[in-house]
Amino acid sequence: MMLAAFWFGCALSQPPVGPDAPAEEPRPATARADATRTHVVMLGTGNPVPDPSRSGPCVAVVVDDRAYLVDMGPGLVRRAASAHMGGITALDPERLNRVFVTHLHSDHTAGFPDLWLSPWVIGRTGPLNVHGPIGINNMATHLSAAWSEDIEVRTTGLEKGDAGGAAIVVKENPAEGGEVYRDAWVTVSAIPVPHGSWKYAYGYKFETPDRTIVISGDTAKSEALAAACDGCDLLVHEVFSQAAWDMRPPSDFKNYHATFHTSTTELGELAIMARPKKLLLYHQLYMGADDAGLVAEVKAVWDGDVESASDLGIY
C-alpha cells in the first residue's frame, strides 16, 4: 500500500493531465536531414507513473542505419514504430535486436517481452541480444518459460515463425563495468553507478565515429559518470526537482529520492565536472515542477546547454 500511495502521489505532482490539460501524444519523430551519422531518439522518457504522453525509459542511439537501445520501458516498440513512420529506418521494429539494460527496476524492464516478441512476430529473424547487469539472464530465462506455449504455437503452427527470432542471447556485464560491446559503428562501455540499494546499476557510454554519448540510467550523483563524459557531445541524465523536494516534509520516500536519484542541483554540479556539450534531462521526477522549472534549476548551477526531453525527440 505504501508504494501504491507513493506513486499515486507522484502522479498527482506531475504536470497536469486530464480534462484541464489533456496529455498530447508525441508527434512522430522525423529523420533529420543533416550530415551527422549519430542521433539519439527518445523512445521513452517516463518513470513508473503511467503518464500517457511518456512511455517507459528507453533511449535509442542510432548510428547510420543501426539502432542500439538503452533500457526496455513499456511502450518502446510502438514508439519505435512511430519513429520509423517518421523516416528513421533503423527503428523499424523488425530491426530492433540489441539492448543495454541499466538495472532491473520494473519501469526499465517491463517492456522486455514486448521488445523480444513483437519484432519477432512481425518478421525479425535473429535473436534479441541483451546486455545488462547480473540478474538479467535469470529474467530472460523466466520470460522464455512464461511464453513457451506462445512460441511453440507460432513456430510449429500455421504461422511457421522463425525459431531463431524467438531466441534471447544474454551477456551480463562484469560487476566492475568496462567495455561490454564493440562493432564497426560503436564501442559501448558500462559505468557502475550508485542507485540506492541496487547492487548492480550502470550508465552507458557510446563512442561512435562522430559523437560520444553518455546515458545515466537511474542513479544518484555519480562522479564516475562525469569522468566518463569528460566533455562528451551529449549527456542524457535522469533528474528530480530540488526545489520541490526541499518543500516536502521528511519521509522515507524523501530519503528514497535522495539516495536513488539525482536532484537538479546535484546534476548542475555534476555537469560542471562532466562538461557535456549538451545536457538532456529524462526520467523526470517533477514533484509539481515542469520542464522549464527543471531546466531553470539546473542552469542556476551550470549555465550550459540544457534541455528537458520528450518522447520521440531527436538529439
pLDDT band of 33, cuts 50, 70, 90 = low
- Rounded to whole angstroms, the Cα distance separating 25 from 17 reads 12
Structure confidence by residue, pLDDT tens digits, 70-122: 999 999 999 999 999 999 999 999 999 999 999 999 999 999 999 999 999 99
Contacts of 175 (CB under 8 A, 6+ apart): 134, 192, 200
Which position has the grid cell 560487476? 175
Domain ranges, residue 99: 24-308
Q: At what angle do helices 112-121 and 136-146 cross, to 10 degrees?
A: 50
Examine residue 3 and state whether it is found in any structural domain, yes or no.
no
Residue 162 maps to a domain:
yes
Q: What is the CATH number of the domain that holds 156?
A: 3.60.15.10
C-alpha–C-alpha distance, residues 137 and 66, integer Å: 24
160 Rama sector, left if φ>0, alpha if ψ -120 to 50, beta otherwise:
left
Give pTM, 2 decimals: 0.91
Q: Is 37 domain-assigned? A: yes
15 is a domain residue: no
Q: What DSSP designation does 314 have? A: B
Beta partners for 130?
99, 170
| 309 and 315 Cβ atoms separated by less than 8 Å | yes
Cβ count within 10 A of residue 135: 16
User: Greatest CA separation found in the chain?
Assistant: 61
Domain count, the chain: 1
Look up cell 526496455; give the residue.
Answer: 72
Domain annotation covers residue 17: no
pLDDT digits (tens, 9 = 90+) for 125-183: 999 999 999 999 999 999 999 999 999 999 999 988 899 999 999 999 999 999 999 99
**128-132 vs 212-215, strand pairing mode:** unpaired
Q: Which stretches does DSSP call E strand in the chain?
A: 38-44, 58-63, 66-70, 98-100, 128-132, 168-172, 178-182, 187-192, 202-207, 212-215, 234-240, 279-285, 306-308
The answer to the question of residue 1 being in a domain is: no
